[in-house]
Structure 1
Amino acid sequence: MENRTMLPSVSELSSRIARGESSAETLARALMARVQECEPSVQAWAWFDAAHLLAQAIDFDERRGRGEAGGPLAGLPVAVKDIIDVAGMPTEDGTVLHAGRIADSDAAVIAALRRAGGLPMGKTVTTELATYAAGKTRNPHDPSRSPGGSSSGSAAAVAAGMAPLAIGTQTNGSVIRPAAFCGVVGYKPGFGCIPRAGVLTQSPTLDHVGVFARSVEDAALLAQALFGHDARDPATRPLPAPPLFDIARGEAPALPRFAWVATPWWDRMARDAQAAFGGLLERLAGAASPCELPTGAADAIGWHRTIMEAEIAGSYEREYERGRDRLSDSLRAQIERGRRITAVEHRRAVERIGPLNRAFDALFSDFDAILTPATLGTAPRFEDGTGDPLMCTLWTYCGMPAVSLPLLRGGDGLPLGVQLVGRRGDDARLLRTARWLVAHLENP
């Protein structure tokens, strides 16, 4: 998979299609051929119908020719995690309990995608109900390794060149971790930036929608199209979407400064990962300074678990009551622990989110982004599960924007993600800083 043919950037692809220099049909046919080549080994798709993709592309080209279609994602196919409703497509959520379910309407993000000219390409594999039990997807770099989870298929489809862009979700580490393991850019916007109406609800306090791409600019272009307010999602607000794409590709007004946070879990990192980050810090001498987490931040791991498991128990009550024997042992255990959490415990865990974010404000007065590992190491063996999300948990709990960049390699030659985290509400600055870091390391 390492020698895969790489497409131009998505902004260039969409511009060519919009100008009539290429067509959505041409791109769709190229991707269909790539799916046919890679899918037998990668198994990223829960549902893919080549004829349907081609029909969408031909229809787009015909409408573009009449001046009726366009947008920033003009004619670009986008892979969609199989917990997100796309009208007429199966949405089975990675569980036999939802087998045969067909969505009757689009999720808010799919409606936004279509308005921007994007084409829902198909449904990508998710772990069971977006938790920990793995699906069939393999890591494109090594089929004996995990692609991560729960957005397994979305990350793998982009990494294998089967899709130029993909949408996923994160409640703990489900965008950042698979992006790191598969060697692509994964971007989890700040909490409430992208509406979740029409997306499987796992934890209303923690669920985020995120994106996968091959570059920071590509991720910014897709995310910008999805940002917005939807009255059905109380986490969103009626604010103008920031110009993520333009800011991400713009020049930083000054040399960015990075707060290097090894985290209290550094001793759990694989030795080769520790060495790789040591080399990165040497290359960033003068731009990165070691910093400690605010007091009590390490406790967020327990607070996150309290919220997530209590809300999973509520969200999946029907599945547990009607089909607990068909749930994995890990999910059944999470639900049963969640059912024992009291309302007081849950409320206390939620109430700590705001103060912890405010404690980070002082750090962001001096630094543009937090620099930290995305995972504890490279992708684990497939049979060992989807990997530990520990390095993502704190930032998801806080609702802070985060991005994984495929900048390092482990001792086994597999991708190792570098995670940047931004202040909540400052996504555009984070993406601009991320793009600077990529360019700086590629062209020192």
Structure 2
Amino acid sequence: MAETHELSAAELARQIRDRKITPVEVAQTFLERIDALEPSLGAWVRVDRETVLSDAQQRQAELESGAATGPLHGVPIGIKDIYHMAGIPTTAGSKVYANYVPGETAVTIDLLQKAGAIMLGKTVTTEFACLDPSHAKNPWNPAHTPGGSSSGSAVSVAARMCPIAMGSQTVGSVLRPASYNGVVGLKPTYGRVSRRGVVPVSWSLDTVGWMGRTVEDMALLLQVMAGPDELDPVASKVSAGDYLSDLESAKAPKIGLITSFFMEESDQETQQMTRAILDQLKSAGASVVDVTLPDSFDTAFKDQLLIMGVEAAAFHKRMYEEQAADYQPKLREMLRQGLETDAVTYTRALERRLRFSADMRVLAEQADVLLTPSTPTAPLADLTNTGDTRFQGPWTSCGLPTITLPAGLAKSGLPMGVQLIASPFKEVRLLAIARWCEKIIDVQLAPPGGA
């Protein structure tokens, strides 16, 4: 039988519900893991042991009293340190927010708590979820990047310091660190989950996402958090689906392989891994067709970075003017460029992005899911940046739901992944097919040495 810290969020929820383990035992297990591993991995900003144990005792008392319980009752979760929790500092990894204590709680955190989850602590983020690397270490090899910006969340899940953790994505900040650390990551459709109460980077790109160890965990959290929010102007009014009930319903899918760019820009090892995964899926009955990227893809990534810089600068303008020296170099330069970009340049980038988004929706309809490598290479031994964002960024720019699955290890001993993409708001289909693929690929990765 698997040890408690090896269980997924869904497995923990079931065992707690079936009285096979208590919320207090679960909380103690993960606190002990944090005590043992945090000094070497640096994934956490804040863990309040007393509050965690008090919350776990409350969840245990609720269970024993026969009170109604939610789908995450007693399950600990890590929270990227850009999510507001009333009365608890949100530093966003920055000196600029060193003393910031929000008075509100993010909608997503409120929904998780109502579902019974226990907030285990705040995880490390790059500064304001942007470019400058954090101090978090990749548990597979500390000389290699863990990715970013949701670096602490990915590291904590991979190292079994928590079963699941919240991240966010403006370019590639969920999918890339999830892949680099050998875990599952989900970026839902733009607007599928409210962002209210999350420190913004770019209003037209920011997407809430999360990381765990199974597709079921991705579905479980989406079931809890998907839905409209009248106070978030971009939160969609499209009805949420039943992401859990249909999780085992997928038959052999039609997969669209994007060979242009994604395969061309991958190293040989990544190409071989992707082809091997496709061979497995075809042997299980999947059909694979090649699909071609539209011409609008050529300018999409450059436009995305420009839009991100301008919109970030709009949020940071006052703080930048007063505290520019307190920002780290990469973010400071991005904000400077954003403030200097003229309205015509920004508007034309937005126009091209609308064309690109429309073209990608058409592309997504050519198959049940699209498939690409999650990253061009396994994580590199370069700690000066958070890795190559080009394979994840397009899906954020066009808003399509995307999930990354662990696919194996490179010769370097570092994780590799594949990502699946579906049409807007088709997360029911995406998750069911991802679950089908997960069973066929059958890869569960754990860092060496118990980290």
Q: Structure 1, residues 33-62: CA drift from partner, whole Å, max 9, x if none?
A: 111111111111011122221111001111
Identify the residue that residue 55 of structure 2 maps to in structure 1: 56
Question: Hey, what's the Cα distance between the residues in 2 that align with 1:361 and 1:173?
Answer: 19
Question: Hey, what's the Cα distance between the residues in 1 that align with 2:156 and 2:315?
Answer: 28
Question: Hey, what's the Cα distance between the residues in 2 that align with 1:84 and 1:144?
Answer: 28
> Cα distance, 1:172 vs. partner?
0.2
Question: Hey, what's the Cα distance between the residues in 2 that align with 1:57 and 1:27?
Answer: 8
- Work out which of the residue numbers 244, 252, 256 in structure 2 matches 1:255: 252
Q: Structure 1, residues 306-333: CA drift from partner, whole Å, max 9, x if none?
A: 2111101111112211111121221111
Q: Structure 1, residues 218-243: CA drift from partner, whole Å, max 9, x if none?
A: 11101221112222211113343211
Q: Secondary structure at the match of 1:221?
A: helix
Identify the residue that residue 367 of structure 2 maps to in structure 1: 367
Q: Secondary structure at the match of 2:6?
A: coil
- Work out which of the residue numbers 278, 303, 322 in structure 2 matches 1:281: 278
Question: Hey, what's the Cα distance between the residues in 1 that align with 2:322 and 2:364?
Answer: 47
Whether contact under 8 Å (1:180, 1:375) holds in the other structure is: yes
> Cα distance, 1:136 vs. partner?
1.3
Matched residue type, 1:102: V
Q: After the TM superposition, which of the residue ranges 177-186 and 349-358 deviates more from structure 2?
A: 349-358
Q: Secondary structure at the match of 1:246?
A: coil
Q: Secondary structure at the match of 1:288?
A: strand
Q: Secondary structure at the match of 1:279?
A: helix
> Cα distance, 1:343 vs. partner?
2.1
Q: What are the ranges of 5 or more consecutive residues in structure 2 without an aligned counterpart?
A: 444-451
Whether contact under 8 Å (2:190, 2:401) holds in the other structure is: yes
Q: After the TM superposition, which of the residue ranges 231-240 and 402-411 deviates more from structure 2?
A: 231-240
Q: What are the ranges of 5 or more consecutive residues in structure 1 without an aligned counterpart?
A: none
> Cα distance, 1:150 vs. partner?
0.1
Give the TM-score of the pair, scaled to structure 1. 0.94
Q: Secondary structure at the match of 1:79?
A: strand
Whether contact under 8 Å (1:408, 1:415) holds in the other structure is: yes
> Cα distance, 1:374 vs. partner?
1.1
Whether contact under 8 Å (1:4, 1:160) holds in the other structure is: no
Question: Hey, what's the Cα distance between the residues in 1 that align with 2:371 and 2:49?
Answer: 40
| Equivalent pairs, count | 439
> Cα distance, 1:101 vs. partner?
2.1
Whether contact under 8 Å (1:380, 1:386) holds in the other structure is: no
> Cα distance, 1:5 vs. partner?
7.0
Identify the residue that residue 306 of structure 2 maps to in structure 1: 306
Structure 1 residue 271 corresponds to structure 2 residue 275: no
Check 1:361–1:107 CA distance in 2 against 1; reply closer, same or farther (3 A cut). Answer: closer
Identify the residue that residue 204 of structure 2 maps to in structure 1: 205
Whether contact under 8 Å (2:408, 2:417) holds in the other structure is: yes
Matched residue type, 2:312: I
Q: Secondary structure at the match of 2:245?
A: helix
> Cα distance, 1:89 vs. partner?
2.1
Q: After the TM superposition, which of the residue ranges 223-232 and 4-13 deviates more from structure 2?
A: 4-13
Question: Hey, what's the Cα distance between the residues in 2 that align with 1:384 and 1:378?
Answer: 16
Identify the residue that residue 181 of structure 2 maps to in structure 1: 182
Query: Share of identical aligned residues, percent?
Result: 35
Identify the residue that residue 100 of structure 2 maps to in structure 1: 101
Question: Hey, what's the Cα distance between the residues in 2 that align with 1:6 and 1:415?
Answer: 20
Give the TM-score of the pair, scaled to structure 2. 0.93
Q: Please give the residue correspondences for 1:160-175 in structure 2 after superposition, counting only pairs within 5 Å.
A: 160-175=159-174
Q: Structure 1, residues 396-434: CA drift from partner, whole Å, max 9, x if none?
A: 100111111011322212101111111112111111111
Q: Secondary structure at the match of 1:224?
A: helix
Whether contact under 8 Å (2:263, 2:372) holds in the other structure is: no
Q: Please give the residue correspondences for 1:26-425 in structure 2 after superposition, counting only pairs within 5 Å.
A: 26-247=25-246, 249-252=247-250, 254-264=251-261, 266-285=263-282, 287-425=287-425
Question: Hey, what's the Cα distance between the residues in 2 that align with 1:276 and 1:178?
Answer: 18
